[in-house]
Amino acid sequence: MNIFRLTGDLSHLLAILILLWKIWKTRSCSGISGRSQILFATVYTARYLDLFTNFVSVYNSVMKIIFIAAAFATLYLIYVKFKATYDRNHDTFRIEFLLAPCALLALILNHEFTILEVLWTFSIYLESVAILPQLFLVSKTGEAETITSHYLFALGSYRALYLLNWIYRYYFEGFFDLIAIVAGIVQTVLYCDFFYLYITRVIKGRALKLPA
């Protein structure tokens, strides 16, 4: 555990909590892509099945359980409790176009052809693109609430911090996992455009509106 990994995890946790808090506090999930949240719930479920087979540490298990529970709680808020506020007309990204290629790629490019390992690989690939429905929704409406942009910033920063963690681990531990690194780079690159808008607008106290 190094500082990049820890801040990455905390940033990830913060993102998830910001989203839950935003929906709960405003009693509304408008501007939030339910489809991205379905993908994230799929990611955590596929990746953390090793909770049942392999114990790493209390920290590891607790975080996994929080991520899974928060993902399903978010889905419940969007699709059940605050269903009336869900932006379904704008949330139209076809997630099967992400799910199918990730599943296929996981079957072909993995560390080992076992069920858990293929599911882990699938979750890594899927996570890298899971934000696309959300970014699509923001681009379609042309704006995002400030709290939603904080959520996106924290969520995007998490994988960027993991990239620094992997550079650190490569130099100091000789560790590297090519699948995670390549997917992590893809994931971070997808946020770059958003990071630029966040820094140039939201930090300066303006709303995140996309340039026309």
Distance (Å, whole) CA 127 – CA 47: 10
**CB 110 → other proteins: shortest distance, Å?**
10
126: helix, strand or coil: helix
Distance (Å, whole) CA 12 – CA 3: 14
Is residue 5 a contact point for other proteins (CB under 8 A)? yes
What CA–CA distances, in Å, run from 142 to 59, 139, 158, 197? 39, 5, 24, 12
Distance (Å, whole) CA 55 – CA 11: 23
**Pick 54 or 92: Cβ nearer other proteins:** 54
Distance (Å, whole) CA 176 – CA 168: 10
**CB 48 → other proteins: shortest distance, Å?**
8
**CB 164 → other proteins: shortest distance, Å?**
13
**Pick 144 or 160: Cβ nearer other proteins:** 160
Stretch that binds other proteins, among 15-23, 26-34, 93-101, 173-181 (CB under 8 A): 173-181
Of residues 7-46, those binding other proteins (CB under 8 A) = 9, 12
Is residue 182 a contact point for other proteins (CB under 8 A)? no
User: Residue-wise over 77-95: b if at least 16 C-beta within 10 A, else e?
Assistant: bbeeebeebbbeebbebeb
Site string for other proteins, 41-70 (x = CB under 8 A): ---------x--xx-xx--x--xx--x---
What CA–CA distances, in Å, run from 210 to 93, 138, 196, 199? 19, 8, 11, 13
Is residue 145 a contact point for other proteins (CB under 8 A)? no
Distance (Å, whole) CA 101 – CA 126: 9
Of residues 92-121, those binding other proteins (CB under 8 A) = 111-112, 114, 116-117, 120
Question: 208-209 and 143-144 as β-strands: parallel, antiparallel, unpaired?
Answer: antiparallel
**Pick 63 or 75: Cβ nearer other proteins:** 63
**CB 155 → other proteins: shortest distance, Å?**
13
The residues binding other proteins (CB under 8 A) are 5, 9, 12, 50, 53-54, 56-57, 60, 63-64, 67, 111-112, 114, 116-117, 120, 162, 165, 175, 177, 179-180
